[in-house]
Amino acid sequence: MNRAMPGITPRMLTRQLRDLEEDGLVRRTVYQDIPPTTAESSAVTRALGREPMARA
């Protein structure tokens, strides 16, 4: 997503993804066993029928 939205700061991207997670549109998975801690976001089934937020 970061590449699809040039100019977005990491902080703003994180905020947007967390908002989408709260709305139930994105599922966030945190991997703490690989330093540094990494998080992966993916669209949930209910969000897949909606208009794309960004095209990669």
Helices (H), strands (E): how many in the chain? 2, 2
Q: What is the pLDDT of residues 9-51, one digit of tens each?
A: 889 888 988 898 898 888 888 877 767 667 777 777 665 565 5
* 54's tokens: 């960004």
Segment 5-10 mean pLDDT: 84
